[in-house]
Amino acid sequence: MPLNRREFTKQSAAAGAGLALTGAVGALATAPEALASDEPEAYGAGHGHGHGHGHALGYGPLEADPEGILALPAGFSYRVITHSGVTRLESGEFTPSNHDGTAAFAGPRGTTYLVNNHELKGPRAKWAHPVPLTEGLVYDPAAAGGCTVVEVHRDGTVAEWVGIAGTSTNCAGGRTAWGTWLTGEENSDRAGVNGMTKDHGYVFEVDPRDRRANRDPKPVKAFGRYDHEAVVVDPKRGHAYLTEDASNPNGLLFRWTPPAGFEHGRGKLRTLADDAGVLQAFKCTDSTGRFVDDLSRATRIGTVYGVDWVDVPDRDGRTTAVRKQFADGQVTRARKLEGMWWADGGTYVVSSYAREESPGAAHDGQVWFYDPKRRTLTLKVLLGVNATPAEDGAYDGPDNITVSPYGGLVIAEDGEGVQHLFGATDSGRTYPIARNDLNDSEFTGVTFSPDGDTLFANIQDPGIMVAITGPWRRQPRR
């Protein structure tokens, strides 16, 4: 049922009074359709690095790494967990390359399991270190991507094995409340294209604790076939939310509603019929009830949109790509819808940047929060265009994100120049956590260990997973 104007005004006011995160590098014009933030000092609080407001923010300046891999604040350290072409799987093959989305799970006797995507597109011959075709775990033997499971023991020893193989361009994904990983293919090649033997563009489930559960991989076709990025599942209502990284036209945010009587749990998704439930794309309206065509229209922190959901005509995109099945005015779009993380009763959603392919204002990153109870989408983080990406200091291109146990967000940067992990506090200030001193590859797979003591992250190219430890502390809210 669509929101009426009275419902939207009431709900958006409540949402706007809550958490406000911003990483704005420069002031952007206020959109006339935007609902102004109730916290004006948050907007333009800017790109803080431990200064202002009389409180210590972050962990201090980053110190160059003698090993030339990861710059960290004083008192912090890292160790390499996996390194493509260097470390090996249990089966003897090298760790696959191009690390991407990752999640951590508690294992027995203090161990931590990490499921690690490998964003490898196209034929296997293209890559020096594709995901090995482990018997029983292969979807399409022509495809190079997949996931590995990394087991980190308390004594520091590491084991790694294949969770799924023969998938394509495994980019982001998301963990579930029942302890599994959903990995999405950011590639929708059909069988016969680029040497593929099966259709791609699906989500698959990987169980880090039960290797037998991963045998005979089956795509969750009910979630649709398109260029998947992240996915989260509402543990209360059962909806799945999914992002699409695409252009011409820009991608969509989707919601999947389970069929009546369906209950989530280990192995349940693979039992779904291909057309089970309802897949829908989002449609936003501003506080006056006007349709919002693209999220780049929002230029002020605290902007709140009402959200309705529009049925997808053909979720498998048999003749027309899903995002192209909607006419102008039917759905809202955004460029590079990327990472998501479920927390605070809803989901945080990233749009990495907007340029000429978007109808609104250019920016170098947005993070939104969707509240399923109020059916509102609120802009929490806004990065102005970074004019000097080659210089250390400013941030651009947020991608994978996680909610920190120490408050606020931790964001992996996939920008144009220097690459960082950085934090954003509840009041909107940002601070550095790490810098890639090895190369200009993006950070990916940012996630905390179950006990909150270790921050895991990846340098995508060549594919290095690191574990960061140090004097973590709760960050000031203001």
Q: Residue 131: give its domain's CATH number.
A: 2.115.10
CB 446 within 8 A of CB 436: no
Q: Which of 294, 290, 285 is nearest to 250 (CA)?
A: 294
Average pLDDT over residues 461-469: 98
For residue 17, the model assigns a pLDDT of 38
Average pLDDT over residues 341-353: 97
Residue 311 counted as domain residue: yes
CB 415 within 8 A of CB 393: no
Residue 182 CB contacts under 8 Å (≥ 6 apart), including other chains: 173, 174, 175, 176, 203, 204, 205, 206, 220, 231, 233, 269
Identity of the residue numbered 136:
G
- Beginning with the edge strand found earlier in the chain, give each strand of the sheet holding 181-185 in spatial order: 170-175, 181-185, 203-206
Average pLDDT over residues 113-129: 97
Average pLDDT over residues 208-228: 98
DSSP states of 104-133 as a string? EEE-GGG-EEEEEEE---SBGGG-SSPPP-
Residue 333 counted as domain residue: yes
Q: Given CA atoms 167, 168, 169, 173 in this order, what sign does their dihedral have? A: negative
Average pLDDT over residues 220-242: 98
| C-alpha span between 423 and 56 (Å, rounded) | 14
Q: Which two tokens stand for residue 366?
A: 């947005």
Query: What total number of domains does the chain contain?
Result: 1
Average pLDDT over residues 197-205: 98
> Residue 29 gets which letter from DSSP?
P
Task: Give the predicted TM-score (pTM) of the model.
Answer: 0.91
| C-alpha span between 464 and 98 (Å, rounded) | 8
| C-alpha span between 142 and 283 (Å, rounded) | 37
Residue 35 counted as domain residue: no
pLDDT in tens, 400-441: 999 999 999 999 999 999 999 999 876 667 899 999 999 999
Residue 40 counted as domain residue: no
Residue 336 counted as domain residue: yes
**Given a cut of 80, is residue 165 above it in pLDDT?**
yes
Residue 51 counted as domain residue: no
Q: Which of 303, 461, 335 is nearest to 399 (CA)?
A: 335
Average pLDDT over residues 214-237: 98
Q: Which two tokens stand for residue 166?
A: 């023969």
Average pLDDT for the chain: 89
CB 400 within 8 A of CB 413: no
Give the DSSP H/E element, type plus range, for residue 381: strand 376-382
Average pLDDT over residues 348-368: 96
Cβ burial, residue 476 (10 Å; 0-12/13-18/19+): middle
Residue 465 counted as domain residue: no
Average pLDDT over residues 11-26: 39
For residue 1, the model assigns a pLDDT of 52
**Confidence class for position 51, pLDDT limits 50, 70, 90:** very low
| C-alpha span between 9 and 305 (Å, rounded) | 10
| C-alpha span between 69 and 459 (Å, rounded) | 9
Q: Which of 363, 457, 365 is nearest to 81 (CA)?
A: 457
Average pLDDT over residues 196-212: 98
**Given a cut of 50, is residue 68 above it in pLDDT?**
yes
Domain that holds residue 257: 5-30+85-388+395-410
Average pLDDT over residues 103-119: 97
For residue 56, the model assigns a pLDDT of 82
pLDDT in tens, 75-105: 999 999 999 999 999 999 999 999 999 999 9
For residue 180, the model assigns a pLDDT of 98
| C-alpha span between 353 and 189 (Å, rounded) | 25
> With left for phi above 0 and alpha for psi between -120 and 50, is residue 38 left, alpha or beta?
alpha
Residue 243 counted as domain residue: yes
